[in-house]
């Protein structure tokens, strides 16, 4: 009898427990009301959450790296261009030129020749000319040979204009009279000027210009004491052409 009563009690309790489980299967994210834990939730199960808003940055706050790189590249280009300009100016100012010019004039009674060599460094030039004249006047023959020193300044680079002055440093005059008397002199004074135009083709220059010289010989002597020649004066211009080398 005791065991029968105990068995009935277990059956009744098991039925109540099964009913509680059946009631608890319907919860969403919580416990059944009969358990006394309905006020609690595990991790807020079943609750829908809105996605967190993304953080957006203002365009002014963004600093793309390409802008900095672009500025750096521009600065580098400026530096390179300035260096190129400096190097071009240096090469222009330090250019060396070697020039040779000559000119000839011939007529029935005279022949004139001139040959010039010049070196130009940094626009300033120095040169030397040899001037020769042979002429006949009233049966008397005149032979002149003068040496001149030239100083010049050159404007421009590929197209150049050279202006300068010249001075007679040494010379020799020989006069043969109609009766074969010979007179000589080396006492000479003179000066002049010149202008030269030049065009560059690579390292070569094509040159054309004009030279003017005025000079006078004094103390013209002869071995004969009976003859005397006062002085000889001459002046004139001559067109010259030539070539040059520019480095």
pLDDT category of residue 203 using cuts at 50, 70 and 90? very high
Asked if 218 and 133 sit in the same domain, the reply is yes
* Span 102-127, pLDDT tens digits: 999 999 999 999 999 999 998 999 99
Q: Is 178 left (phi over 0), alpha (psi -120 to 50) or beta?
A: alpha
For residues 185 and 201, the answer to whether their CB atoms sit within 8 Å is: no
The CATH number of the domain holding residue 138 is 2.40.160.20
SS (H, E, C) 32-73: CHHHCCCCCECCCCCCCCCCCCCCCCCHHHCCCHHHHHHHHH
For residues 81 and 158, membership in a common domain is answered with no
Report yes or no on 36 lying in a domain: no
Residue 184, token pair as written in the block: 């000589």
pLDDT score for 223: 76
Q: Is residue 16 part of a domain?
A: no
With 50 as the cut, is the pLDDT of residue 144 above it?
yes
Compute the C-alpha angle 96/155/215, nearest 5°: 90
Question: Would you state the pLDDT for residue 84?
Answer: 58
Low-confidence winner among 21-30, 51-60, 153-162, 164-173 (lowest mean pLDDT): 21-30
List pLDDT tens digits, range 19-68: 444 444 444 444 445 444 444 444 444 455 555 555 555 555 555 554 54
Note the pTM of the prediction, 2 decimals. 0.63
pLDDT at 75 over 90: no
* Residues 83 and 105 placed together within one structural domain of the fold: no
> What is the total count of domains within the chain?
2
pLDDT band at 130 (very low <50, low <70, confident <90, very high): very high
Tell me: do 180 and 216 sit in the same domain: yes
Rounded distance, CA 107 to CA 61, Å? 90
Domain hosting 206: range is 98-246
Integer Cα distance of 13 and 155 in angstroms: 125
The pLDDT of residue 161: 98
pLDDT of residue 63: 52
What's residue 73's pLDDT? 57
Calculate the average pLDDT of the chain.
78
Q: Given the structure tokens 């001037």, which residue do they identify?
A: 131
SS (H, E, C) 85-140: HHHHHHHHHCCEEEEEEEEEEECCCEEEEEEEEEEEECCEEEEEEEEEEEEEECCE
Confidence of residue 224 (pLDDT cuts 50, 70, 90): confident
Q: Quick one: pLDDT at residue 45?
A: 46
- Averaged pLDDT, 135-149: 95
Please indicate, yes or no, whether residues 155 and 192 belong to a single structural domain of this protein.
yes
Query: Residues 136, 74: one domain?
Result: no
Select from 58, 125, 77, 55 the least CA-distant residue to 97.
Answer: 125
Percent of the chain with pLDDT over 70: 61
Distance between CA atoms of 153 and 209, rounded to whole angstroms?
A: 14
102 in the same domain as 73:
no
């Amino acid at each position: 009898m005791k065991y029968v009563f105990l068995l009935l009690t277990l059956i009744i309790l098991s039925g109540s427990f099964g009913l509680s489980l059946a009631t608890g299967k319907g919860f969403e994210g919580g416990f059944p009301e009969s358990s006394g834990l309905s006020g609690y939730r595990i991790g807020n199960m079943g609750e829908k959450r809105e996605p967190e808003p993304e953080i957006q940055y203002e365009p002014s706050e963004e600093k793309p790296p390409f802008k900095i790189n672009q500025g750096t590249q521009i600065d580098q280009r400026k530096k390179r261009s300035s260096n190129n300009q400096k190097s071009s100016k240096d090469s222009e100012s330090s250019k060396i030129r070697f020039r040779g010019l000559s000119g000839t004039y011939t007529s029935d009674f005279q022949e004139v020749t001139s040959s010039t060599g010049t070196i130009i460094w940094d626009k300033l030039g120095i040169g030397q000319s040899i001037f020769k004249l042979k002429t006949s006047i009233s049966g008397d023959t005149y032979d002149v040979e003068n040496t001149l020193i030239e100083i010049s300044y050159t404007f421009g680079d590929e197209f150049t204009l050279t202006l300068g002055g010249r001075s007679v440093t040494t010379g020799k005059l020989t006069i043969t009279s109609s009766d074969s008397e010979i007179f000589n002199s080396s006492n000479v004074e003179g000066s002049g000027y010149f202008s030269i135009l030049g065009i560059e083709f690579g390292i070569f220059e094509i040159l054309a210009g004009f030279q003017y010289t005025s000079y006078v010989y004094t103390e013209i002597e002869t071995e004969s004491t009976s003859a005397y020649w006062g002085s000889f004066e001459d002046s004139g211009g001559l067109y010259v052409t030539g070539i040059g080398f520019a480095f």
